[in-house]
Chain A
């Protein structure tokens, strides 16, 4: 029987070709684009000789494959290179503080999505067959289908410009009023998925023998739901929570861009536009690894929750 540790090793080995593919593709894409960080930085004001000298200093004139191997060697030693847009700063010193901001921005939505979505899911399961179930489900679906790019300007106008209740944009930490609108925009669309996951989980558990036994014993419906159903139905939610933990630091492009939050999502856009090679690579590598590790963690979480599931199946 396979344990957790060999499973992790096997999954990480299987992830190597994936990471290789992603990094090679990103690396070549960055170099394939016209323009380079030096030209972008000097804005054409430097002489060709200076540009060539700077490029040589940064080894940007080497063969792309050589550059790739050198860069990945540095990454394995924990060095993501130097930023070209913020002269003299390492990529790590730029992107990690940005990720910290994105993490703070995602904190309330993370807590609220689950703490509102789960009770709605329980309610939907209990009202199955009544009008409330399809109505609330449809409402949540409608809310989740509205693209943030349209709803953000609308909210900004209504709550900031018209009613003057909240600031339009900006970032002043998680205890300022600025955080309210982004939190709403990041929370509401996610409710549908969580509520429906909880609902299905509840319905599955409600068919189980021990719930029928509890009912046959003549227990109160409230106790059956709370003690026997909800507790077991919550187990699949744990995997959803574990999975989303890894994406807490991932910024939302639109929310950060439109609300002026200096997180990693807004930084990604600026980085790509500025051809900041090392930073693009760092963001891509971190996202990819986080995605792979998150999937692995979800699989492991499943086995802890339901010992009937084994890790040896890929």
Chain B
């Protein structure tokens, strides 16, 4: 057995012969399976559209998200949809279409930054480390993950926002007048950074657990033992032999976590503890539009941001489900 598998050292191929763990499909097969799922394709289109809007926000939005004093005039406030304002205006007379376009940017910044740092860098890095090194490193990472995982996410986020936030605010206000960083700080980048840090703290835990368990399984495989016997470095083993077998889980973990990250930001902002005015966020707009009396009088204030946000979450749920079907065939 050992001799037999030592002759087929290429990891991905060797793995595909194993019957118990289906191999991650190749890129081409993956694309073909994805294209067969119409609903997932529609979902992916919406996601692409959403992020494209975020990237090109300044080019798409006809007005500024901050509004001006002229907007506050009575005839400009709380307008229903019209040619000039396709989604109407809010209670400060700001163009809702522009606000929504810039809100996608807040969602993009937070989901992308949190995913790269939490899901990719910390989640995959610590998962590889814990699963491959085991021992004390594994225990330490696990205990930290358990501690973070055992407090309800929103409770932890609210706690962080209520306690650390005011201190940060004091420092940030000090720095308003400073050259170079003063300008960006005034645009609310500190808020987004704070929410990003808080969400990163939570985001890595699930990904780390997933990766770790898979690494624990893969490291027992004969091709890993063979590579180690031949004196391959840890980095080489992890990158060439272990990583190809967890790649699909990384993609899957990230896709499923983006919805949760976006929802956490919206929830925090809804409670006034996330991104704050004038930086637009779906949480802030939904809060503004959500009082029953408000909804009756001006339904567009809830319906416009609400629908766009709901579609975002549905798109990620459907796309993530399709990915799970393709990449994790055991649960099909």
Residues of A within 8 A of B (CB): 17-18, 21-22, 25-26, 29-30, 32-35, 137-138, 141-142, 144-147, 149-150, 152-154, 156-157, 160-162, 168, 200, 250, 253-254, 258, 268-269, 272-273, 275, 280, 283-284, 287-288, 291-292
Contact = CB atoms under 8 A, between A and B. Distances in A.
Contacts of B292: 153, 156-157, 160-161, 168
B318 A200 contact: no
B302 A150 contact: yes
14 contacts: A29-B164, A34-B167, A34-B170, A145-B313, A145-B317, A147-B313, A153-B290, A157-B296, A253-B158, A272-B159, A284-B151, A284-B159, A287-B152, A288-B147
B189 interface: no
Contacts of A272: 158-159, 162
Interface string B172-199: 0000000000000000000000000000
A156 B293 CA distance: 10
Most A CB contacts (10 A, CB to CB) among B151, B152, B263, B291 go to B152
Contact of B144 (A21, A34, A145): A21
Q: Which size bracket describes the interface of B in this complex? A: 35 or more
A287 B150 contact: yes
Interface in B144-172: 144, 146-147, 149-152, 154-155, 158-160, 162-164, 166-167, 170
B259 interface: yes
B151 A150 contact: no
Contact of A30 (B163, B266, B267, B290): B163
A108 B243 CA distance: 45
Contacts of A162: 296
B25 interface: no
A30 to B, nearest CB: 6
B6 to A, nearest CB: 29
B295 interface: yes
Interface in B42-76: none
Contacts of A291: 149-151
4 closest A-B pairs by CB = A33-B163, A145-B317, A153-B290, A21-B147
B150 A145 contact: no
A150 B309 contact: yes
Given A25-B147, A146-B313, A157-B295, A287 B155 contact: yes
A141 B150 contact: no
B316 interface: yes
B121 interface: no
B151 A253 contact: no
A268 B155 contact: yes
Nearest to A153: B290
Contacts of B155: 253, 268, 283-284, 287
Given A29-B164, A284-B151, A291-B150, A145 B259 contact: yes
Contacts, number: 132
B271 interface: yes
A22 B152 CA distance: 11
B295 A153 contact: yes
Interface of B is mostly: helix
Interface of B: 39, 143-144, 146-147, 149-152, 154-155, 158-160, 162-164, 166-167, 170, 259, 263, 266-267, 270-271, 283, 286, 289-293, 295-296, 299, 302, 306, 309-310, 313-314, 316-318, 321, 331
B189 to A, nearest CB: 22
Contact of B151 (A30, A32, A254, A287): A287
Contact of B310 (A29, A150, A254): A150
Contacts of A152: 290
B167 to A, nearest CB: 7
A34 B295 contact: no
Contacts of B295: 153-154, 156-157, 161
Contacts of B164: 29, 32-33
Contacts of A275: 162
A275 B152 CA distance: 18
Contacts of B39: 138
Given A32-B163, A258-B290, 11 more contacts: A17-B143, A29-B159, A142-B318, A145-B316, A147-B310, A150-B286, A150-B309, A156-B295, A161-B292, A268-B158, A288-B147
Contacts of B146: 18, 292
B314 A145 contact: yes
A273 B163 CA distance: 9
A152 B289 CA distance: 12
A269 B151 contact: no
Given A33-B163, A272-B159, A154 B306 contact: yes
Given A22-B147, A280-B159, A254 B267 contact: yes
A127 B252 CA distance: 26
A18 B142 CA distance: 9
A17 B270 CA distance: 34
Given A22-B147, A32-B167, A288-B151, A141 B317 contact: yes
Contact of A142 (B144, B170, B290, B317): B317
Contacts of B331: 200
Contact of B166 (A34, A156, A160, A292): A34
A59 B131 CA distance: 45
Contacts of B310: 145-147, 150
